[in-house]
Amino acid sequence: SQQGEEDPQALSIQEGENATMNCSYKTSINNLQWYRQNSGRGLVHLILIRSNEREKHSGRLRVTLDTSKKSSSLLITASRAADTASYFCATGDSGTYKYIFGTGTRLKVLA
């Protein structure tokens, strides 16, 4: 399969709690990106982390990357109902700029 794996597949939490999603991939990468997709809508770019970076923050988002384990995590702190969406990781190939998506995590934040 061309896809990376994400877990959990689905996550349901209460507003205010933190949400952690994990992504594992198979090949060497140049960078890894996280995207959000609301139901039936397009992709929203959240954050990009390069292969030589280990951690990155953007607002309530924290992304880590462990290239030795070929894995990444996305942490959303103090979650809100508006964070309810599907989250995908996508790994980038520096040679081709081709992105391969993970299987996704469906997050539901209950008000």
- Site residues, other proteins (CB under 8 A): 2-3, 30-31, 33, 35, 40-43, 45, 48, 50, 88, 90, 92, 94, 96-104, 106
| Residues 28, 22, 85, 78, CA torsion sign | negative
Tell me how far, at minimum, the Cβ of 37 lies from other proteins, in Å: 9
To other proteins, the closest distance from the beta carbon of 16 in angstroms equals 26
Measured from the CB of residue 105, what is the shortest distance to other proteins in angstroms? 10
The beta strand positions in the chain, using DSSP E, are: 5-7, 10-14, 19-24, 31-37, 43-50, 55-58, 61-66, 71-76, 85-92, 99-101, 105-110
Nearer to other proteins, 22 or 77 (CB): 22
Residue with Cβ nearer other proteins (42 or 59): 42
Quick check: helix, strand or coil at residue 82? Answer: helix
Nearer to other proteins, 15 or 99 (CB): 99
Least distance (Å) between residue 86 CB and other proteins: 8
Q: Using CA of residue 20, residue 76, residue 70, residue 65, what is the dihedral sign? A: negative
